[in-house]
Amino acid sequence: MTVTTRFAPSPTGRLHVGNIRTALHNWMWAKKHGGRFLLRIDDTDAERSAEANVTAIRDDLAWLGLGWDGEARQSERFALYEERFAVLKAAGRVYPAYETAQELDLKRKVLLGRGLPPVYDRGALKLSDAERTAFDAEGRQPHWRFRLDHDTLIVWQDLIRGEQRFDPKLLSDPVIRRADGSWLYMLPSAIDDVEMGITHVVRGEDHVSNTAAQLQMFAALGAEAPQFAHEALLTGSEGKLSKRLGSLGVDHFREVGIEPVTLIAKLARIGTSDPVEAVTDPQPLIDSFDFAHFGRAPARFDEAELAQLNARIVHQLDYAVVADRLPAGMDEAAWVAVRPNLETVVQAADWWAVVEGPIAASDIGDEDRTYLVEAARAAAQIDWSADPWHALTGALKETTGRKGKPLFLPLRRALTGRDHGPDMAALLPLIGRDRALARLAAAA
């Protein structure tokens, strides 16, 4: 059995951080087991689905590095659903229902008013042939429900939530098809999970009661059900399900300089008993990925923490990973020199501008001017081929008697125009002799 997972977004919008997390966990589980990760576009709802969203979903997954091994689109599989529907209908597992939305709403309100769970009363199953014919004659189009088997308790071992039990009598027979013939999510999804050989379904816990009904659909289709892992939902930093999370997608993260691997490192681990770690490669996360480590409490997604994690990851990124995003001419030595001072890769350009100049005039106090004249003289004499910063500061220490901040800070200011920044020992060789001499002379 090849472990096969799927990510099944409805293309009604862009992916948000919650969807990205679901996609990631499905991908990781497949990778961990040398299995397959499939992309399924759940676009049965033609009106709400948009092609631009499908393209964006693919782009977002590609940016994240979550490659998929196959793709399916529900809108191309209607013939299959029709076929399975006919089988279920012949077996009496789907049935037409004629209630209008208002009638259903009224039934619900009556039950709730009596303090009862608002479970559909199966009124449609009690219709006589004559009543049904009369509805048809009236031109009422039925919608279709899946008839749950009330005699079998629904039980499954959820990989995250443990044993789950549902009494089917307390569930409404789910509507699977609208009066206009269009499909709701539940049945096509179960049919596809069977046809695509899905072994594990990883999704949010908002789907738990769907799973109860879908387990009966798998049985009615004569198929073995996949295993399920329902994860606790994400909350914002304030601990509540936040609107903002629903609008945070790849575009936003890219714009603020978050690396794909940062998102992966964060989303792989929040809500689990494993610590979030600053990794530059998802492999160790895949190796240790385990549903048993997931908690039942909502996972807290904090953007400030994400930014800090990003900085720690950027500090370790190899030149090859970032080279195509660096300014022209910025080589490996320059990257390694500035990397520890960055929060995002884009900021490397600021330091490259400092290396190349021109730099902003720095405010040098009068007490430092003669010191810088001396520095310019020393800089002209030192050996620039090995370690010019230590050669320069060593020489100046001797000739001026300065040490510590008075020794270093005026040099940093004169050479970079700033008070803080990357290690001068790494920066000075990049600035080079000619520019350094000119900057020291200009500042003096």
Residue positions forming the annotated binding site for ATP: 243
189 binding ligand GLU? (CB under 6 A): yes
161 binding ligand GLU? (CB under 6 A): no
Q: What is the dihedral of CA 411, 415, 417, 418, to 10 degrees?
A: -60
Determine contact, residues 199/226, Cβ cutoff 8 Å: yes
Which range, of 7-15, 240-248, 250-258, 346-354, touches ligand GLU by CB under 6 A? 7-15
342: phi then psi, degrees, rounded to nearest 5: -100, 150
Residue 377, helix vs strand vs coil:
helix
Q: Which is nearer to ligand GLU, 202 or 411 (CB)?
A: 202
Q: Which of 209, 214, 235, 238 is nearest to 226 (CA)?
A: 214
Q: Which of 352, 376, 378, 320 is nearest to 430 (CA)?
A: 352
Instruction: Provide the minimum distance between the beta carbon of 76 and ligand GLU in the complex, in angstroms, as a whole number.
Output: 15
Q: What is the dihedral of CA 376, 380, 384, 387, to 10 degrees?
A: -40
Which range, of 6-14, 49-57, 231-239, 392-400, touches ligand GLU by CB under 6 A? 6-14
Instruction: Provide the minimum distance between the beta carbon of 199 and ligand GLU in the complex, in angstroms, as a whole number.
Output: 14
Which range, of 3-11, 93-101, 233-241, 259-267, touches ligand GLU by CB under 6 A? 3-11
9 binding ligand GLU? (CB under 6 A): yes
Q: Which is nearer to ligand GLU, 9 or 410 (CB)?
A: 9
Q: What angle do CA 181, 171, 39 make, to 5 degrees?
A: 55
Determine contact, residues 23/65, Cβ cutoff 8 Å: no
Instruction: Provide the minimum distance between the beta carbon of 201 and ligand GLU in the complex, in angstroms, as a whole number.
Output: 6
316 binding ligand GLU? (CB under 6 A): no
Count of chain residues binding ligand GLU (CB under 6 A):
9
10 binding ligand GLU? (CB under 6 A): yes
Burial of 20 (0-12, 13-18, 19+ CB in 10 A): buried
Who contacts 22 (Cβ-Cβ below 8 Å, separation ≥6)?
7, 202, 203, 204, 231
Q: Which is nearer to ligand GLU, 96 or 271 (CB)?
A: 271
203 binding ligand GLU? (CB under 6 A): yes
Q: Which is nearer to ligand GLU, 247 or 399 (CB)?
A: 247
Q: Which of 27, 185, 289, 371 binds ligand GLU (CB under 6 A)?
A: 185
42 binding ligand GLU? (CB under 6 A): yes
Which range, of 5-13, 104-112, 115-123, 383-391, touches ligand GLU by CB under 6 A? 5-13
Q: Could you tell me if residue 92 is left (phi over 0), alpha (psi between -120 and 50 degrees) or otherwise beta?
A: left
Q: Which two tokens stand for residue 285?
A: 């996360």
8 binding ligand GLU? (CB under 6 A): yes
Q: Which of 273, 153, 276 is nearest to 216 (CA)?
A: 153
Positions touching ligand GLU (CB under 6 A) are: 8-10, 42, 185, 189, 201, 203, 207
